[in-house]
Amino acid sequence: MEQILYAIPFLGHGLYITLLVSAIVVALSLFLGVLFGVGLVYGPWPVALMVRIFSDCIRGIPILVLIFVVYYGFPQLGLNMSSFWAAVLALTLFKTAQVIEYVRGAIGSIPRGQMEGAMSIGLVFSDRLRFVIFPQAVRRFLPPWINGVTDAIKGSALVSLLGVVDLMQAINQVIGRTYEPMPLYLLGAFIYFAINYSLSSLSRMLERRYSYIRD
Amino acid sequence: MASEHLLDIRQLAKSFGKHQVLKAVDLHVSKGEVVTVIGPSGSGKTTLLRCVNFLETYDGGSIRIDGTEVGYRNDGPQRRRRGEVDLARMRAETGMVFQSFNLFPHLTAAENVMLGLRRVRKKPKREAREIALHWLGRVGLGHKADSLPGELSGGQQQRVGIARAVAMEPKILLLDEITSALDPELVGEVLDVVRQLAGDGMTMLMVTHEIAFARDASHRIVFMADGMVSAVVPPDQLQAAAAENDRLRSFLSRFSATAH
């Protein structure tokens, strides 16, 4: 208990960094993933092919390797960035590839007739997506995506390997001073769990909210 | 090139891979006319209908509505696909009712009808809702305006589908086997609505397996077989035409048990 009280101020900033990294990664990957996902499903074949290659390559690489490639490899290509942004970039690439697949799956689950119905009343492509496809796809997209958000928060602990002082690294630093790993790792585990459990509860709530639509 | 017909299809050709679905189809529909396409499955009738509002591209020939070519524009000797905005504007002029309804399940009946009025016809919300309620009333569903499609029967859903199409005031209404997915006892209520629209002078091109209805409600019946128009007759001469057309005779014989 004593160690935990001692640690809390240090962990506060670490938690802030963890949440900041997660939020940037989630927001960027959502934007890019939806954009590329739509490109994969509806784009002309060169676009679809490029997205497909990107997604398959990224998803085939362990996220840890990806982080090191970005951090150590990109400077050699003349792209210098801080360890924070290198970590954010690597995690965003990884998450974007996942979002692309969620989008593909969600849009793919909508019957083709929906697009045709929307065409038949004269809606342009962007309106067909906005008013017909997306509102229906979102309920298929949300559960795996929120699950992916919890993965992103857990995965953000990997940024500690580049020396970014996130929650994980803050815990390690405190342990370096107290030499009592167990209570602090348990505390860390509890914090991650508390965040992610609330997210998955939210996900279940949203699923119930959308369940009134019959297929 | 002006055309006296509202819909003028000439030498229409379409293939899916190596399979030629439509081979030089000629067909025209005048304003206020109801034309029904019948034929065995695989004869290309649904594909023909889908080409008219460019849900399906076509390879050769031309489709003109009010003299404007559907889907393509001629750029010198080259035929180019029209742009997205152009295509959408043309599709808004051709209403379509689908076999599987294709209502938007997340929107109420009224919202289904309003979407095109709002986004394509640019009507303010209040006016769009008034028009939607008017048409839902016309198909006998004024009291279901705020129901979701999932809460309606098949026949009711299809009537919403019809309201959604006609509310856009299309030049021509395309009906693609609109009763095929319905339980037999629900077919009548949908056909009644179509009959009513025909009475109002709506121009219609429909594909149906309801031969009795086709005879009763159309001005002309087109019999398609193997991707070609095999016969075009007024409904009262269908039997007479069958005497001279083997394929039509064998096609109709399958219905004779139920059609009378």
Provide the CA B20 distance to its chain's centre, in angstroms: 22
Contact A113 B89 (CB under 8 A): no
d(CA B104, CA B108) in angstroms, rounded, equals 8
**How does pLDDT run across B169-191, given as a tens digit for each residue?**
999 999 999 999 999 889 999 99
Chain A residues close to B150, C-beta within 8 Å:
213-214
Closest chain B C-alpha to A212 CA, distance in angstroms: 9
d(CA A155, CA A58) in angstroms, rounded, equals 15
**How does pLDDT run across A105-126, given as a tens digit for each residue?**
999 999 999 999 999 999 999 9
What dihedral do alpha carbons A184, A189, A195, A201 form, nearest 10°? -150
Helix or strand holding residue B128 (H, E): helix B125-138
What ipTM is given for this predicted complex?
Answer: 0.91
d(CA B26, CA B6) in angstroms, rounded, equals 14
Give one word for A7, left, alpha or beta, with left for phi > 0 and alpha for psi -120 to 50.
Answer: alpha
d(CA B62, CA A89) in angstroms, rounded, equals 52
Q: Which residue of B has its CA nearest to A139?
A: B106
Chain A residues close to B120, C-beta within 8 Å:
121-123
- CB proximity list for B14: less than 8 A, separation 6 or greater: B20, B21, B22, B44, B47, B51, B56, B57, B58, B59, B60
Question: β-strand B94-97 against B172-176: which pairing, if any?
Answer: parallel
Chain B residues close to A127, C-beta within 8 Å:
119
Domains and CATH numbers, chain B: 1-93+190-260 (3.40.50.300)
- With 0-12 CB in 10 A as exposed, 13-18 as middle and 19+ as buried, what is B158? buried
Share of chain B above pLDDT 90, in %: 77
Confidence of residue B257 (pLDDT cuts 50, 70, 90): low
Minimum mean pLDDT among A47-56, B15-24, B124-133: which range?
B15-24
Confidence of residue A215 (pLDDT cuts 50, 70, 90): very low
Chain B contact residues (CB < 8 Å to A): 53, 55, 84-85, 88-96, 98, 100-106, 115-116, 119-120, 148, 150, 164-165, 168
d(CA B219, CA B19) in angstroms, rounded, equals 31
**How does pLDDT run across A5-46, given as a tens digit for each residue?**
777 888 888 899 999 999 999 999 999 999 999 999 999 999
Domains and CATH numbers, chain A: 2-210 (1.10.3720.10)
**How does pLDDT run across B110-123, given as a tens digit for each residue?**
999 999 999 999 99
Please report the number of interchain residue pairs, chain A to chain B, with beta-carbon separation below 8 angstroms: 76
